Amino acid sequence: MANEITLAYMQEMVRRREGRLGEKQQILRLMSAVGRLADSLEDEKEISVSLGEVLYNTLALANTYGIDMEDCVPESVPMPQQDRKPARSLDFRPL
């Protein structure tokens, strides 16, 4: 899709806007965004905005530590069922 926004693109846009912040400042900003998310659970529109803030601050924190989020997400997100190796069938019939 031509209009698809990738995680790498978003991370680069955050890097250009934020530069490199201190680790303590960045983690406090992320924690504040998570707190606003918790407070917004009653309103779907507020949840959407809060999730965006959490993502933005997560990307900014990754930039602070020089972490490429596209490299670390596959390790954290479960693989779809079709990508997993099929379960081995065990045959217990006598030989």
For residue 45, give its domain range: 23-71
In a domain, 88, yes or no: no
Q: Does residue 76 form part of some domain?
A: no
Q: Is residue 45 part of a domain?
A: yes
Residue 64: which of 30, 31, 33, 26 has the closest Cα? 26
Note whether residue 94 is domain-resident.
no
Q: Are 33 and 42 in contact (CB under 8 A)?
A: no
Q: What is the pLDDT of residues 15-35, one digit of tens each?
A: 899 876 788 999 999 999 999
Quote the number of domains for the chain: 1
Whether 78 is in a domain gets the answer no
In a domain, 43, yes or no: yes
Predicted local distance difference test score (pLDDT) of residue 50: 95
Distance CA 36, CA 51 (A): 9
40-51: per-residue pLDDT in tens?
A: 998 888 999 999
Kindly state whether residue 66 falls inside one of the protein's structural domains. Answer: yes
Q: What is the pTM of this model?
A: 0.73
- The answer to whether residue 13 sits within a structural domain is no
What does the pLDDT average to over 2-19? Answer: 85
Confidence of residue 81 (pLDDT cuts 50, 70, 90): low
